[in-house]
Structure 1
Amino acid sequence: MATIESYSTAAGKRYMVRYRTPDRASTKKRGFKTKRDAEAFAATVEVEKLTGSYVAPALGRITVEELAPDWLARKESDVAPSNYRTLETAWRVHVQPRWGRARVADVELARVEQWIAQIQRDETDADGEVIKKGAGATVVIRAYGVLAGILDDAVKSRRLASNPARGVENLPRKLTKRHVYLSAEDVGRLADESGAHRPLVLTLAYTGLRWGELVALRVRDVEFLRRRLTVHDNAVQLGVDHAVGRTKSRRTRSVPVPEFILDELSVQCRGKGPDDLVFPGPDGSYLPRPKSDGGWFAGAVKRAKVQAITPHDLRHTTASLSVSAGVNVLALARMLGHTSAKVTLDTYADLFDSDLDAVAKSLHARYSPPPVPKVCPNGTE
């Protein structure tokens, strides 16, 4: 059992708790101002020892930045290069400056919430002019995730009894971006205005490939007889370079291709070897994503006079055109590389509003009772 002793300091009487750790080593904690505080600590230690949740205070003295390298190294091997890059940036820009030198035992929930509020806040000058905008929801959530993940490692290594960052109440919510859908006629005009990139635009709009999946396609991945594309690689642009890895779902998928798209692809693949890229860049390597302002895609959008869209929006157009054509939701989910049909339904719920009307009509046609004959007052129908 723990014992409590008093001792004198320049600031007055203080109390010390002597106790044994679960491995029977003798230790102590000093500095309690009242005997009641010392007794409360001693009781807590005994309960933690009995429940197996005891953590030696010395282990909590390690700093957040001492634990960060191992966490980041593990993430580098677990996630896509583009994802790791955002995590490393979040650590370096937002987490390390505030929490790097903090001991894990000193991290408190209230201070984490204050930090979340701070990085969202705009910085203004003496005249009230905004000189630096606060971080958006995606950046804030990512930075919080990095801190919480590192502290999770502290819990796993028995340096903390629980994660003090879990349970915050002021995380911002991401705003769902409105999907932009083009009609088949819009897609045709956009493709015509894209010049040499016409096959690329049509392939994006009718197969639902992500940009990185499209530019990583090789001739061997185009199965003309089966009318399929085999999608297994994803070339993510990082600055001027590309990092090639697996698809977002880390699964190879087979994507159906309309015959008129295959006709376009046959011209695109003509004279190339099986390992050559279907849509290479000017230097033969991976095609860079078009610039959002002044690039070839933005120019084609303006000339075609369609809604302002990005190449990724053509993936949404694929979903819209497929639903309009009566494609099964399960097949659409496989085509887009979603983990389940639920993801597809949640992502494109607005495309299925008309199905609700069809449900009512079908139920009425199948189950409505026969009309009741109208009877006149004289007894005749």
Structure 2
Amino acid sequence: MPRRRARSTWGSNEDAGNGRRRLRYWADLHDGRGYTRHSMTIVGSRRDGDETLARLRVEHSADRPTPTLRQAYEAWYLPELRERVESGDMAPHSMTMYESTWRAHVCPAWGNTPVTDIRPLGVQQWLMGMTTESARKSLALMGRVLAKCVLYEAAPTNVAREDYRIPRRTGREHSKDVYTLSELLAALDAVRGTAAYIPAIMCGLASCRVGESLGPLRAEVRETEVHGMTLAVVDIVRQVDRYGHVADRLKTRSSERPVVVPEPWAADVLAVDAEWLCDNGCGEPIGSAVAGRAWDARLADAGLSPIPFRNLRNSWRTYMRWELGVAEDMLEAMMGHVGRNVGEIHYDRPRWEVFAAAVADAWMRYRARDNGSLGTI
């Protein structure tokens, strides 16, 4: 009885008849299929087959199973995003943005491609088919996923870090217009009594993002007096989306903060008699879509040029710095931004009294100039 040949520890060398050998082995040939099984047929003896397998083994000894970009995203990056949301380090809205960019742009083009087969030329061609904003977001997301691949030694380099040309083709441009203080006050007078009034105060006079302006409960508003000025201090701990859905997490952990509304608008905030500061009349908060429609409609009726509702926060940052003269580091803290140095990030813990004093001082100095730009105040 003939002795069975022992199985090779790497690949196989089988008789294919007529003096041919069929060789099978595992390798990454960088043909878009990743680390997978290959076969070839040669003419020759068993020894010829063994020698060919030996050469292939040397050539592919460093090959290893290579994940596709989709596998890397799902195994390494997506769990990290979820963990950051659960810990409060990232807002659910940001998570939604990443997932949307992945589904719309990155996955359809590269999801099934092994990460070692993503080439700069292909990435450049892919980017040129998108708008400027989509290209930037998509490239950034790909780069974060590939960074994980480099970390876990599944890819030698991060090709998303090449110096790519970003297309200038734009979709709908977001307006960067802001109001001066006098323009803001005219707009507030125009929307008084509408669903946009209290949210506009919170954004344009107290630094809130749109979702933040809709989230406070009336019980989270308190009255204080500084230098004879009555202020409303509002705790920002949650946000509300476009449709009125409440999220108990803000954009970042540092976004949780007190904000201060100056007088005389503080009186309007303190006079709210409902469960939510921006109540819809049924014990629930209004959504940003409702506030935005009321804002646009009433300003149009008044013959005023509306800026996007979200730009009220930008307006606050601009006039507080350049018209009211508040220090930049104080404004950053009042906006809920993470500091830029160790002290600001880990040690600064300003109390609401500090913010209230800063707001009162700034408005009192401005009024003392008696320049008439504050209208009826």
TM class, shorter-chain normalised? 0.5 to 0.7
TM-score when normalising by structure 1: 0.64
Does 2:211 correspond to 1:207? no
Task: Give distance in 1, aligned partners of 2:132 and 2:241.
Answer: 23
Residue 314 of structure 1 aligns to which amino acid in structure 2? Answer: L
96-105 or 10-19, which deviates more? 10-19
2:204, 2:312 within 8 Å by CA — same for their partners in 1?
yes
Question: What residue identity is the alignment partner of 2:326?
Answer: V
Alignment of 1:1-381 (within 5 A): 27-29=57-59, 56-60=62-66, 62-70=67-75, 71-78=77-84, 79-117=90-128, 119-120=129-130, 136-172=131-167, 177-184=175-182, 186-197=184-195, 198-225=197-224, 227=231, 229-237=233-241, 241-248=245-252, 250-268=254-272, 270=273, 272=274, 276-290=275-289, 295-322=293-320, 323-340=322-339
Task: For residue 240 of structure 1, report the CA deviation from its aligned partner.
Answer: 6.3
Tell me the alpha carbon deviations over residues 272-320 of structure 1, each in whole angstroms, 9 at most, x when there is no partner. Answer: 5xxx321123432231113698x21111111232222122222233234
Name the amino acid aligned to 1:324.
Answer: E
Moved more, 329-338 or 137-146: 329-338
Cα offset, 1:18, TM superposition? 5.5
What's the CA shift string for 1:311-351, capped at 9, x where partnerless? 22222332343231232323222222233589xxxxxxxxx
Change (3 A) 1:248 1:138: farther
Q: What's the counterpart of residue 50 of structure 1?
A: none
Residues 333, 341 of structure 1: 8 Å contact kept: no
Aligned-residue sequence identity (percent) comes to 19
8 A contact 1:209–1:315 mirrored in 2: yes
Query: CA offsets per residue over residues 67-106 of structure 1, 9 Å max, x none?
Result: 2223223213323111111211111121111111111121
- 1:224 counterpart SS class: strand
- The C-alpha deviation readout for 1:189-214, integer Å capped at 9, x for no partner, is 54344423333333332112111111
In the alignment, is the contact (CA less than 8 A) between 1:194 and 1:300 conserved in 2?
A: no
Task: Give the whole-Å Cα distance in 2 for the aligned partners of 1:166 and 1:16.
Answer: 38
- How far residue 263 of structure 1 moved from its aligned partner, in angstroms, is 0.8
TM-score calculated relative to the size of structure 2: 0.64
Amino acid at match of 1:332: L
Name structure 1 gaps, 5 residues minimum.
Answer: 1-6, 20-25, 31-44, 46-55, 121-135, 343-381
Structure of greater relative contact order (alpha carbons < 8 Å, 6+ residues apart) = 2
What is the distance in 2 between the residues matched to 1:156 and 1:75? 17
8 Å contact 1:82–1:238 — kept in the other structure? no
User: Does structure 2 retain, via aligned residues, the 8 Å contact 1:18–1:27?
Assistant: yes
What letter matches 2:125 in structure 1?
A: Q
In structure 1, C-alpha distance between the alignment counterparts of 2:41 and 2:124, rounded to whole Å: 36
- Classify 1:172/1:305 alpha carbon distance in 2 versus 1 (closer, same or farther; 3 Å): same
Higher deviation after alignment, 10-19 or 139-148: 10-19
Q: Measured at CA, do residues 291 and 217 of structure 1 come closer, stay the same or move farther in structure 2, by a change above 3 Å?
A: closer
User: 3-state SS of the aligned residue for 1:250?
Assistant: helix
Query: Does the aligned pair in 1 maintain the 2:243–2:288 contact within 8 Å?
Result: no
Match of 1:36? none
Change (3 A) 1:16 1:244: farther
Counterparts in 2 of 1:253 and 1:111: CA distance versus 1, 3 Å: same
Runs (5+) with no aligned partner, structure 2: 1-22, 24-39, 85-89, 226-230, 342-377
Residues 291, 298 of structure 1: 8 Å contact kept:
no
- The whole-number CA distance in structure 1 between the counterparts of 2:255 and 2:181 is 30
SS at match of 2:259: strand
Q: Which amino acid aligns with 2:70?
A: E
Distance 1:93 1:290 in 2: 24
Aligned length: 283
| In structure 1, C-alpha distance between the alignment counterparts of 2:112 and 2:99, rounded to whole Å | 17
Q: Secondary structure at the match of 2:248?
A: strand
